[in-house]
Chains A and B, each alone.
Chain A
Amino acid sequence: MNIQPPNSSSIKSRFAVKFVQAMKRLSKRRGMGDRYKRYRATRAAARVSLAAAVGPERAWSRAVLRRIKKRRGLIGRTTTNPRRNLRGLVPGGKGMDYCSLLSETAHYITCLQAQVQVMQDMLHLSSP
Chain B
Amino acid sequence: MLRSATASRNLFTTGVSKRIAPAVLRFYSSLPLSVPVTLPNGTTYEQPTGLFINNEFVLPKQKKTFEVVSPSTEEEITHVYEAREEDIDVAVDAASKAFASEWSTSDPLVRARALIKLADLVEANAETLAYIESLDNGKSLQCSRGDVALTAAYFRSCAGWSDKITGSLPETGSSHFNYTRREPIGVCGQVIPWNFPLLMAAWKIGPVLATGCTTILKTAESTPLSALYLATLIKESGVPAGVVNIVSGFGKIAGEAIATHQKIKKVAFTGSTATGRHIMRAAANSNLKKVTLELGGKSPNIVFNDADVKRTVQNLVLGILYNTGEVCCAGSRIYIQEGIYDEVLAEFKAAAENVKIGNPFDEDVFMGAQASYAQLSKILKYIEIGKNEGATLVTGGARHGEKGFFVKPTIFADVKEDMQIVKEEIFGPVVTISKFSTVDEVIDLANDSEYGLAAGVHTENINTAIEVSNRLQAGTVWVNTYNDFHPMVPFGGYGQSGIGREMGAEALDNYLQVKAVRVGLQKAT
Partners in one complex: no
Q: Which chain A residues have a beta carbon within 8 Å of chain B's beta carbons?
A: none
Q: Which chain B residues have a beta carbon within 8 Å of chain A's beta carbons?
A: none
